[in-house]
Chains A and B, each alone.
Chain A
């Protein structure tokens, strides 16, 4: 079990990590999700022992490992860049941690070939990494991390620089490969979809703070704050400042609808509502659907889905709808959503009570 207790990391007076407390169990897959500069890499470096926290402590299996050099921890890490030893062959790259550990030649050969086989690197064992494609280089780095059989495996956006197909394949394979070892598996990503595909637990990071941690689907469906909801939304979360008064929720004259049953308990006041782009639609599904009359700005068609950017009351929203929806700029469009899909946040950005009816 890896435990971070009130960990803070300051560099040149700036807080990179602010009082993060986090417990990761053995045999679990944990995703660190956040935009660039959220502190994912810094947190991973602290977990690995590459950096020391300015304050707070790090415990592994109950033992305080704060300040223990990385060489004396059983850690493996893969970076976003393809980091290998350029002067060594792929075979020697994979064998490297085993040689340092002093394993015998037979064990090294067996483990290297097994890892190379899993990562489909067997034909390239005699080449040097610079003579491989990007995907092969990253698989070499992953094989090296795998062969070490570490208790803590840290993968810092390992698939970010790979082509789509390979990324899909490895994303599926990686959790399986590392799950067998019973290690704590930490995976950093900026993409909410990647977090959802990986599953496990997700820690949402923003500006060096951990804003939420829990099972990935739960974290996605029930964000505890506006920051968490915004971080865990791709395309971006649609938000709108509204007033709750006299049993109505209003945004000027543009949006007005009765307060849904599950939000009746809310006191009158100003709130921010959030609607995920995939919860918006162009056809009504029920009587109580909330309707917004907007104008299209631009439509992006990917083939299977359409992203419709639209505007109303000086607010820009985005709708993700299945199939092809062709709209010209300035075309009128009626956008609807079910009130049950509303996320509601108070003035401080904290989520208020709500229920989801539709699947995420």
Chain B
């Protein structure tokens, strides 16, 4: 009997406590969604606006602000997909960006391995001074690049832009990869040699899977730098290797300003970067956690 009484007495107290905590929880929840929502809006609005513009006609764009296209059109995209002077620039950008990424990784892998595994005279100084190229703005290098590349007949070639971007990307790639490689115990290398592995076989079969995240992160940074860099790419190219970033600086045509096409080009420019991030997202997450980035 007394137990029953206790339980009936206890119930309202429990209920009150639950109600109180639920009330407190709901109050705190009201603040929880606000900040992330504002943050996401802040990030999304410019991209949404670009997409919004890309589906509008130039007349509608110039007539005023509207949250969505009144008369949605695919004309802007059609212009880009059918006009070689637009779509070829995409291919040009893709070609030199991929070339640059491959060269950077290929060059940085052995260099980073050497920095992480061997001690040699001035290694720490050299490692630090690798970054000096990144301390100056790219514009500083335009003149020497232009003269050198002109002398070697490399102007307006994909390889010219790819190599020029290596000046900035290779040191960064070495730094990132060195961090990942130093995270792999040297004893793993030695164990592989004791097991009989040759260096190339060890590097390919044992070591590369261990630094895959680092390679992913490095490729991402090389890709993004090369993809968005405008100044050098525009200076070293005229028509055959002209990149999309340079093509997008054409704001006016014979018919006037074509903002719709420009917006569509902008949207298409974001896509490769977004795809790269999508594919290497796990590696990047792991990479940022483990590497010296």
Contacts and interface: CB of A to CB of B under 8 A. Distances in A.
Interface string A68-91: 011100011101010111111000
Contacts of B192: 85, 96
B266 to A, nearest CB: 40
A87 B204 CA distance: 12
B194 A76 contact: yes
B196 A83 contact: no
A87 B209 contact: yes
B149 interface: no
Contact of A83 (B187, B193, B198): B187
Interface in B143-197: 185, 187-188, 190-197
Contacts of A75: 194
A100 B196 contact: yes
A31 interface: no
B185 A100 contact: no
A85 B206 contact: yes
A97 interface: yes
B210 interface: yes
B194 A100 contact: no
B185 A81 contact: yes
B195 A144 contact: yes
B260 to A, nearest CB: 49
A83 B185 contact: yes
A70 B193 contact: yes
Contacts of A132: none
B189 to A, nearest CB: 10
A88 B193 CA distance: 16
Contacts of A148: 195
Interface in B191-220: 191-198, 201, 206, 209-210
The interface residues of chain B, by DSSP majority, are classed as helix
B193 A50 contact: yes
- Chain B's interface size range is 10 to 19
Q: Which residue of A87, A88, A101, A144 has the most chain B CB atoms within 10 A of its CB atom?
A: A87
A48 B194 contact: yes
A287 to B, nearest CB: 58
Contacts of A85: 188, 191-192, 206
Contact of A71 (B188, B198, B209): B198
Nearest to B199: A71
Contact of B188 (A69, A83, A100, A101): A83
Interface in A86-142: 86-88, 96-97, 100-101, 141
A96 B195 contact: yes
Contacts of B196: 71, 97, 100-101
A86 B190 contact: no
Contacts of A81: 185, 187
B209 A70 contact: no
A75 B196 CA distance: 9
Contacts of A79: 187, 191
Contacts of B209: 87
A46 to B, nearest CB: 13
B215 to A, nearest CB: 13
Contacts of A71: 193, 196-198
Contacts of A100: 195-197, 201
A103 to B, nearest CB: 11
Interface string A251-264: 00000000000000
B190 to A, nearest CB: 5
B204 to A, nearest CB: 12
Interface string B204-241: 00100110000000000000000000000000000000
A244 B240 CA distance: 98
Contacts of A76: 194
Contact of A50 (B188, B190, B198, B210): B190
Contacts of B193: 50, 69-71
Nearest to A150: B194
Given A50-B190, A81-B185, A87 B210 contact: yes
Q: Which residue of B187, B197, B198, B206 has the most chain A CB atoms within 10 A of its CB atom?
A: B187
A29 to B, nearest CB: 20
B210 A86 contact: yes
A71 B193 CA distance: 5
A129 B114 CA distance: 27
Interface in A49-73: 50, 69-71
A144 B187 CA distance: 14
Contacts of B191: 77, 79, 83-85, 141, 144
A86 B207 CA distance: 10
A85 B207 CA distance: 9
A87 B206 contact: yes
A50 B195 CA distance: 12
20 contacts: A48-B194, A50-B190, A50-B193, A70-B190, A70-B194, A71-B196, A71-B198, A77-B190, A77-B194, A79-B187, A83-B188, A83-B191, A84-B191, A85-B206, A86-B210, A87-B210, A96-B192, A97-B196, A100-B195, A144-B195
User: Which 4 A-B pairs have CB atoms at the shortest separation, nearest pair first?
Assistant: A87-B209, A100-B196, A97-B195, A83-B187
Given A70-B194, A85-B206, A96-B195, 9 more contacts: A50-B190, A70-B190, A71-B193, A77-B191, A84-B191, A85-B188, A86-B210, A87-B206, A97-B196
